[in-house]
Structure 1
Amino acid sequence: MHTSISAVAFASAAVLLTACSTTPTTTSMYSQDALPPTVQVPAGHRIAMQTVGAGDITYECRVKKDMAGQFEWVFVGPDAVLSDRSGKAVGKYFGPPATWASNDGSKVTATQLAVAPAGAGNIPFQLVKANPAMGSGAMTGVTYIQRVATKGGVAPASTCSAGNAGSKEVVKYQADYIFWKAA
């Protein structure tokens, strides 16, 4: 009797482990309630896709606009892989111009509407209005894109002066990109 109970317990444990390994991981529903109102998507839209962008932002040391003799790090453009919540690469984010491209060949550019602080050392939250998509696929019908959950990506802390004007530096960053379509 003891052997059969052990066998049943072992078989039950194996079934549970198998079920756990094949059950898709669920992701919590995204809510924009905690975001500043300036970067919230207007009512009448629904989430079409959630991605995590991870990659680089390039900055260049340039003369400050209308301030001869003063220099600053200026944003040049991003280069990031977009992955779904399970970690599968589904596209790229690059620029200029800022372009989100799906692996299915569709892509979209957008115009910035608003930014909001995202904490020290992090690029700001952002809301952009999408232009009509190029190609057919995941980006078709996208109306807004939010950049949230940002980590890193701010301009370099290194000196930017006449001595290194024109030099470029690359910094790592990560952010969630939430794609919205009309409901």
Structure 2
Amino acid sequence: MTRSSVAATSCRGRPMTRLSIRRATRLATLLACACPAVAQAQVPAPEPPDKAKDLAFAHAQVLDAPEVPDAIKVQPGEEVLLRARASGVQIYVCGTGTDGKPEWTLKAPDAELLDEQGAVIGHHSAGPSWQHRDGSAVTGKATAHVDAPDRDSIPWLLIAATSHSGKGVLASVTSVQRINTHGGQPPAPSGCTSSGTGRRVREARVPYRADYYFYVAGAN
């Protein structure tokens, strides 16, 4: 047997010391920790989701446009973004009509906007305008109306968006429909004056409910 063979045999047969075991364990641990870190460094972090866009997309995929009279239909290509139920009041003030007699004039709506589960998601106020809880808002102008099936309820409306604010759900709304109204009509003209005193009643708050459909321009 040669000297080199004896040396090799002696090396293979030598038991590992505790120091050698600790060094080997430490090296294995370092390699295990380093490999995932290298792999992670090569994968770019995902961009944070745009919650407003995701919500808008989700609504547009599951809501169908309601059946309404032709006069208040939206433009071809517009898609439903959001449906909200309004519950609140129509505020009227007593003024003087063209005939010189007292009459009620609409001042503003004041209503909460509710989702399908009845949770408050926004507010409807003068403008008319709608504010979402995410900070976005849309203001519009009525362009068409039809009488409600119930004569004691305010008309159904088609409203064109005129301005926006914020970057949330309502920031891209193009049209709004008010349908399924209940209540909200002004009191009788005689209600402008208080019985007995003849003084004008300045304001009347009439409860109402309605469904509002918010539309955006379609992808095509």
TM-score range, shorter chain: 0.7 to 0.9
Alignment correspondent of 2:104: 73
Q: Which amino acid aligns with 1:171?
A: V
Superposition deviation, residue 85 in structure 1:
1.3
- Identify, as 1 or 2, the structure richer in strand: 1
Greater RCO structure (CA 8 Å; 6+ sep):
1
Following superposition, the deviation at residue 29 of structure 1 comes to 4.9
Higher helix share: 2
Q: Which amino acid aligns with 1:177?
A: Y
The answer to whether structure 1 residue 138 and structure 2 residue 138 are counterparts is: no
Q: Say if 1:36 and 1:93 are closer, same or farther in 2 by CA, change over 3 A.
A: same
Stretch deviating more after TM superposition (122-131 or 157-166) = 157-166
Q: Write the mapping of 1:87-106 to structure 2, written as runs, cut at 5 A.
A: 87-95=118-126, 97-106=127-136
Note the residue ranges of structure 1 that are not aligned, 5 or more in a row: 1-27
Q: Which one has a bigger Cα radius of gyration?
A: 2
TM-score where L is the length of structure 1? 0.78
Residue 28 of structure 2 is matched in structure 1 by none
Give the C-alpha shift of residue 32 in structure 1.
2.9
CA distance in 2, matches of 1:74, 1:84: 30
- Verify: 1:111 aligned to 2:141, yes or no: yes
8 A contact 1:150–1:175 mirrored in 2:
yes
CA distance in 2, matches of 1:87, 1:155: 26
Q: How big is the shift at 1:165?
A: 2.8
Runs of 4+ in 1 over 4 A off after TM superposition: none
Answer whether contact 1:115 1:124 (CA < 8 A) is retained: yes
Query: TM-score, normalised to structure 2's length?
Result: 0.65
- Identical counterparts, % of pairs: 32
Let me know the Cα RMSD of the aligned residues. Answer: 1.7
Summarize deviations over 1:118-169 as a string: whole Å, max 9, x none.
0211000000001231111011110000000100000013522493435111
1:172 alignment partner in structure 2:
207
Distance in 2 (alpha carbons) for counterparts of 1:84 and 1:164: 41
Residues 63 and 165, structure 1, Cα contact 8 Å, conserved in 2: no
Flag the 1:141–1:29 CA change in 2: closer, same or farther, 3 A: closer
Match of 1:49 in 2: 82
- CA distance in 2 between counterparts of 1:89 and 1:52 reads 9
